[in-house]
Amino acid sequence: MSLTNKWQTQPEEIFALGSIVPVLVIENVEDAVPIAKALIAGGINVLEVTLRTANALDVIREIASKVPEAMIGSGTVTNPDTLQQSIDAGAKFAISPGLTKELLVASKNSPIPLIPGIASISELMTGIDAGFDHFKFFPAEAVGGSKSIKSISGPFPNIRFCPTGGINQDNMGNYLSLNNVSCIGGSWLVPNDAVANKDWAKITEITKNAVASAKQFA
Ligand SMILES: O=C(O)C(=O)C[C@H](O)[C@H](O)COP(=O)(O)O
């Protein structure tokens, strides 16, 4: 892909790191490293920290500096400012729930790749026109789920998706069995109660189960 030669990593490399990308909403910076290590112990080292919490950028900074084996990305990147903040914090890739022309243009001058989000064919075409071929599909279950993604493969066979939104242990196979889905994302690996109780072993256990299930579709 000749989208830009500035990206240090290519989207296909991110998508190939594993079948499951944990979507993390971390409130407390002190929980960042234990959560990242619990996921890695369970077999996942690609992580998306959403910029939905006040401390999210510090969480990214913490994981980037203290857990070098993690491939840490930022999520909920909705504009050029949050893209730049993610880069400054040490994120190695950025994911957006959607796309705007401003964000797509800014990402071409960024050192880290952007995975834009789409929920419609027209949004997908806007992204393809800008040179992108790897997208998040969000909110997956609410906009037709795996049936939608399967249909999209007809007119757009070369596009690869990472769907998120309503995906979990029970339905991930519907997505991972599709040729145009490289990985799926979800928040179910890190339940709120496990974080509240600092039950890091539970996160590792859920992650191991998810990784084992995903292997069937690899
Ligand atoms: O915050 C963002 O940037 C998002 O794009 C949304 C997340 O990917 C989904 O909210 C995850 O969905 P659940 O697994 O159903 O919780």
Closest Cα to atom 16 of ligand 1: 187
Q: Which of these, 218, 212, 163, 216, lies nearest to 42 by C-alpha position?
A: 212
* 96, pLDDT greater than 90: yes
Distance 187 CA to ligand 1 centre (A): 7
Judged by DSSP in three states, 129 sits in helix
CB crowding 115-142: b at 16 or more within 10 Å, else e:
bbbbbeeebbebbeebebebbbbbbbbe
Judged by DSSP in three states, 89 sits in helix
* 2, pLDDT greater than 70: no
Distance 41 CA to ligand 1 centre (A): 23
Those residues with Cβ within 8 angstroms of residue 22's Cβ, 6 or more apart along the chain or in another chain: 39, 44, 47, 48, 185, 186, 187, 189, 190, 207
Query: Stretch 180-192: mean pLDDT, rounded?
Result: 97
Whose tokens are 């790897």? That residue is 134
Ligand 1, CB within 6 Å, residue ranges: 23, 50, 52, 75-76, 97, 138, 164-167, 185-188
Closest Cα to atom 4 of ligand 1: 97
Query: Stretch 7-29: mean pLDDT, rounded?
Result: 96
pLDDT tens for 109-130 read 999 999 999 999 999 999 999 9
Answer yes or no: are the C-beta atoms of 74 and 89 closer than 8 Å: yes
pLDDT band at 79 (very low <50, low <70, confident <90, very high): very high
* Angstrom distance (rounded) from CA 97 to CA 79: 11
CA 91 to chain CA centroid, nearest Å: 12
Distance 99 CA to ligand 1 centre (A): 15
Closest ligand 1 atom, residue 25 Cα: 1
Task: Please give the pLDDT value at position 105.
Answer: 96
* 28, pLDDT greater than 80: yes
Query: Stretch 46-56: mean pLDDT, rounded?
Result: 98
* 218, pLDDT greater than 80: no
* 95, pLDDT greater than 90: yes
Whole-complex ipTM? 0.96
* Mutation test residue for ligand 1: of 187, 188, 195, the one with most atoms within 8 Å of CB: 187
pLDDT band at 15 (very low <50, low <70, confident <90, very high): very high
* 1, pLDDT greater than 70: no
Task: Please give the pLDDT value at position 152.
Answer: 97
Distance 186 CA to ligand 1 centre (A): 6
Task: Please give the pLDDT value at position 4.
Answer: 82
* Mutation test residue for ligand 1: of 96, 138, 162, 189, the one with most atoms within 8 Å of CB: 138
Residue 76 has, within 13 A of its CA and on its CB side, a CA count of 14
Distance 74 CA to ligand 1 centre (A): 12
* 154, pLDDT greater than 70: yes
Closest Cα to atom 13 of ligand 1: 165
Catalytically active residues are: 48, 136
